[in-house]
A and B are shown apart, each in its own frame.
Chain A
Amino acid sequence: MADELPSEFDAIVLGTGMAESILAAALARCGQKVLHLDRNDYYSGGWATFNWDGLQRWITRQTHPAVQAMNEAEGTKPVECSKLEEGESALSVPQQANTISNLEMFTYVREKAEEPPPEEKEAQEVVTDKEEGQTSGAEEIQQQIHTTEDSEQATGLGESPADATPEELAKETESDDKSDDRCDEKKEDSPEEKKQQEKQDGLEEEKQDSQEKGTLESPAPASSVVQQEKVQEKSEPPKKMEPKKWSMDDIHKEWRRFNIDLSPKMLFGRGSLVELLITSNISRYCEFKAVSRILTLLNGQLEQVPCSRADVFSSKFVTVLEKRMLMKFLTFCVEYEQHPEEYQGWEEKPFSEYLQSRQLTPNLQHFIFHAIAMATRDATTLEGLKSTQRFLRSLGRYGNTPFLWPLYGPGELPQCFCRMCAVFAGIYCLRRAARELIIDKDSNKCKGIVCTEGQRISCRWMVMQGSYVPHMCRKPDPPVGSVSRGIFFTDRSLKASENEQITLLSIPPVEGSNFPVRAVELGNGASACPKGMFVVHLTSQGTGSAKADLQPAAEKLFQPLDGEDADTESDRPKVLWCVYFNQLDTTDCDPSSLYTGLPENIVVTSGPGVDLGYEQAVQQARSLFEQMCPGEEFLPAAPNPEDIIYEDDDGYKSGEAPSSSDNSEENGNDSEWKPDQEKLDEGVAGASNEVSQDAAGEGAQGGDEGLPQGGGEEVPQGGEGTGDAEAAAKDTQEAEM
Chain B
Amino acid sequence: MASSGDKKEHLYKILVIGDLGTGKTSIIKRYVHQFFSQHYRATIGVDFALKVINWDADTLIRLQLWDIAGQERFGNMTRVYYKEAVGAFVVFDVTRASTFEAVSKWKNDLDSKVQLPNGQSIPAVLLANKCDQAKEGMVNNTSQMDEYCKEKSFIGWFETSAKENINIDEAARYLVTRILANDKANSYDDQVDKDKIMLDGTTTDEPEGRGSCC
Contacts and interface: CB of A to CB of B under 8 A. Distances in A.
Nearest to A673: B52
A705 interface: yes
B178 interface: no
Interface in A237-289: 256, 269-270, 274, 277-278, 283-289
A695 interface: yes
B2 A2 contact: no
Interface stretch (A129-137, A533-541, A719-727): A719-727
A666 B54 contact: yes
Given A287-B196, A415-B79, A642 B50 contact: yes
A587 interface: no
Contact of A722 (B20, B75, B165): B165
Given A216-B207, A288-B199, A412 B80 contact: yes
Given A1-B105, A416-B80, A639-B46, A423 B197 contact: no
Contacts of A722: 34-36, 165
A669 B7 contact: yes
Contacts of A412: 79-80
A289 B214 contact: no
Contact of A284 (B2, B43, B105, B200): B200
B35 A415 contact: no
Contacts of A43: 76, 78-79
A692 interface: yes
B45 to A, nearest CB: 5
A730 B165 contact: yes
B53 interface: yes
A681 to B, nearest CB: 15
Contacts of A612: none
Interface residues of A, number: 98
A734 B176 CA distance: 12
B213 A334 contact: yes
B211 A737 contact: no
A43 B72 CA distance: 12
B55 A426 contact: no
Contacts of A320: none
Size category, B interface = 35 or more
Interface stretch (A74-82, A345-353, A575-583, A683-691): A683-691
B49 interface: yes
B211 to A, nearest CB: 3
A174 to B, nearest CB: 36
A705 B34 contact: yes
A698 B54 contact: yes
B198 interface: yes
Contacts, number: 241
Interface in A214-230: 215-216
Contacts of A668: 3-4
A424 B19 contact: no
B44 interface: yes
Nearest to A705: B35
Please indicate which of the listed interface residues B2, B51, B71, B169 has the most CB atoms of chain A within 10 Å of its own CB: B71
Nearest to B33: A692
A404 interface: yes
Contacts of B213: 309, 330-331, 334, 392
A335 to B, nearest CB: 8
Nearest to B3: A668
B74 A430 contact: yes
Contact of B72 (A422, A641, A671, A730): A422
Contact of A731 (B34, B55, B74, B195): B34
Contact of B76 (A287, A430, A726): A430
Given A334-B213, A717-B39, A727-B34, A290 B197 contact: yes
B184 interface: no
Interface string B179-214: 000000000000001011111100011110011111
Nearest to A256: B115
Interface in A399-419: 399, 404, 407-408, 412, 415-416, 418-419
Given A216-B206, A669-B2, A419 B80 contact: yes
A270 B205 CA distance: 12
A559 to B, nearest CB: 29
B197 A287 contact: yes
Nearest to A21: B78
Interface string A499-528: 000000000000000000000000001000
A1 B75 contact: yes
Contacts of A408: 79, 83
B197 A289 contact: yes
B179 to A, nearest CB: 13
A113 interface: no
B196 A288 contact: yes
A294 to B, nearest CB: 12
B212 A334 contact: yes
A687 B47 CA distance: 12
B10 interface: no
A666 B71 CA distance: 38
Contacts of A689: 45-46
Interface in B95-146: 102, 105, 115
B80 to A, nearest CB: 4
Contacts of B44: 423-425, 688, 714
A734 B49 CA distance: 16
B167 to A, nearest CB: 11
A646 interface: yes
Interface string B144-178: 00000000000000000001010001000100100
A693 B33 contact: yes
A274 B78 contact: no
A641 B69 contact: no
B89 interface: no
Contacts of A673: 52, 62
A721 B72 contact: no
Given A422-B71, A641-B46, A737 B54 contact: yes
Q: Which of B49, B55, B80, B193 has the most CB of A within 10 A?
A: B80
B141 to A, nearest CB: 25
Nearest to B115: A256
Most chain A CB within a 10 A radius of its CB, from B7, B163, B197:
B197
Contacts of A278: 199-200
Interface string A645-659: 010010000000000
Most buried by B among A289, A423, A429, A672: A423
A720 B36 contact: yes
B157 to A, nearest CB: 20
A393 B49 CA distance: 39
A170 B16 CA distance: 42
B214 A308 contact: yes
A687 to B, nearest CB: 5
Contacts of A430: 74, 76
A470 interface: no
A669 B207 contact: no
Contacts of A644: 46, 50
20 contacts: A1-B74, A2-B73, A216-B207, A285-B80, A309-B213, A393-B212, A396-B212, A416-B80, A428-B71, A428-B76, A639-B45, A641-B49, A649-B34, A669-B4, A689-B46, A695-B33, A699-B54, A716-B37, A722-B36, A737-B176
Given A309-B213, A428-B74, A669-B4, 13 more contacts: A284-B198, A312-B214, A392-B213, A422-B72, A424-B44, A425-B42, A639-B45, A669-B2, A692-B33, A695-B49, A705-B35, A719-B35, A722-B165
Interface of A: 1-2, 43, 215-216, 256, 269-270, 274, 277-278, 283-290, 307-309, 312, 327, 330-331, 334, 392-399, 404, 407-408, 412, 415-416, 418-419, 422-432, 525, 638-639, 641-642, 644, 646, 649, 666, 668-669, 671-673, 687-690, 692-693, 695-696, 698-699, 703, 705, 708, 712, 714, 716-722, 726-727, 730-731, 733-735, 737
Interface of B: 1-4, 7, 19-20, 29, 32-55, 60, 62, 64, 69, 71-76, 78-81, 83, 102, 105, 115, 163, 165, 169, 173, 176, 193, 195-200, 204-207, 210-214
